[in-house]
Amino acid sequence: MKYSLYYQVHVTKEYCWMLSATLKFVEHVAFDRMIDKEQGKFEFFVAPDLEEVFLDMMHKLEQKKLFITYKSYKIECCNFCSYVL
């Protein structure tokens, strides 16, 4: 059972607020956290059942040139964690 999926996004600095606000508008899809304010780096913990919704949102935002980079990783931690990095 996966508890969360993990993504990192490097956002164009002036659009950090837009990314966070867009994600908060669609509740329960992902939890976002800024890793590096100066470089606009975010991490997201995504509900596995809503990954398709999250990826669709990210694709639409990417088309608007909001991101510099966008990637996922995979790490299996413990019973409490399951990340896609």
Residue pLDDT tens, the chain, 85 long = 567 888 888 888 888 888 888 888 887 788 889 999 888 888 888 888 888 998 898 888 888 887 777 777 654 444 455 444 4
User: In this structure, what DSSP letter does residue 20 have?
Assistant: H
Task: Determine the structural domain holding residue 25 and report its residue range.
Answer: 5-83
- Give whole-number Cα distances, 55 to 5, 9, 25, 72, 80, in Å: 11, 12, 15, 11, 23
The total of structural domains in the chain comes to: 1
Is residue 7 a contact partner of residue 84, using CB atoms and an 8 Å limit?
Answer: yes
58-73 pLDDT per residue, tens: 888 888 887 777 777 6
